[in-house]
């Protein structure tokens, strides 16, 4: 088995990535989104249209597009981290508009407020990169899966990697 594993960056290396980009002309929606950003500890950048090329659209870690602004965003370059935010629970057209702008998620307020605050907080705090995860499963009892899992965890820890060993077998001996 061949591969490359990079060492964890020092704490704080991921750093603060900045706040989300908000695109809307709906004053009530903007007030709600600003309130949610404040609750998450983030300072957003607010625009009524897509920022010029090389600006906030490409650089923002998260883009919150008000449903009122969806048609203005339609021609923008596709990117990850776009959330279409609406208010009307009964508007089935929001899903079509989300596909047109390439949104990753559709959110209707006020129901989705907690999810959005959590997402904004992740952006503001700078979530680290995905962790390397290894699962070890024994074919039967006594196959040595626990021993192998312990050896992998000890080896990784000795190499300076942050390590967590979990024995999730409810019938196992526990590690």
Tell me how many domains the chain contains: 2
Letter string b/e over residues 70-87, b meaning 16 or more CB atoms within 10 A of that residue's CB? bebbeebeeeebbbbbbb
DSSP H or E run through 32: helix 27-40
User: Has residue 2 been placed in a domain?
Assistant: no
Structural domain including 138 reads 130-175
pLDDT in tens, the chain (175 residues): 333 344 444 444 344 357 899 999 999 999 999 999 999 999 999 998 887 765 688 889 999 999 999 999 988 889 999 999 999 999 999 999 999 999 999 999 999 999 999 999 998 887 666 778 899 988 888 888 889 999 999 999 999 998 999 988 887 777 7
Task: Mark whether 77 and 113 lie in a shared domain.
Answer: yes
Query: pTM value?
Result: 0.65
């Amino acid at each position: 088995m061949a591969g490359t594993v990079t060492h964890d960056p020092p704490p704080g290396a991921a750093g603060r990535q900045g706040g989300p980009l908000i695109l809307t002309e709906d004053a009530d929606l903007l007030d709600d989104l600003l309130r949610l950003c404040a609750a998450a500890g983030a300072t957003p950048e607010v625009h009524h249209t897509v920022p010029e090329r090389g600006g906030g659209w490409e650089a923002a870690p998260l883009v919150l597009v008000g449903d009122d602004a969806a048609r203005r965003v339609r021609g923008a370059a596709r990117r990850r981290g776009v959330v279409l935010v609406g208010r009307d629970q009964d508007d089935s057209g929001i899903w079509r508009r989300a596909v047109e702008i390439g949104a990753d998620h559709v959110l209707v307020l006020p129901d989705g407020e907690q999810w959005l605050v959590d997402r904004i907080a992740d952006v503001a705090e700078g979530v680290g990169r995905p962790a390397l995860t290894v699962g070890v499963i024994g074919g039967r009892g006594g196959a040595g899966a626990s021993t192998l899992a312990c050896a992998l965890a000890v080896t990784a820890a000795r190499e300076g990697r942050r390590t967590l060993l979990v024995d999730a077998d409810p019938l196992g001996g526990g590690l």
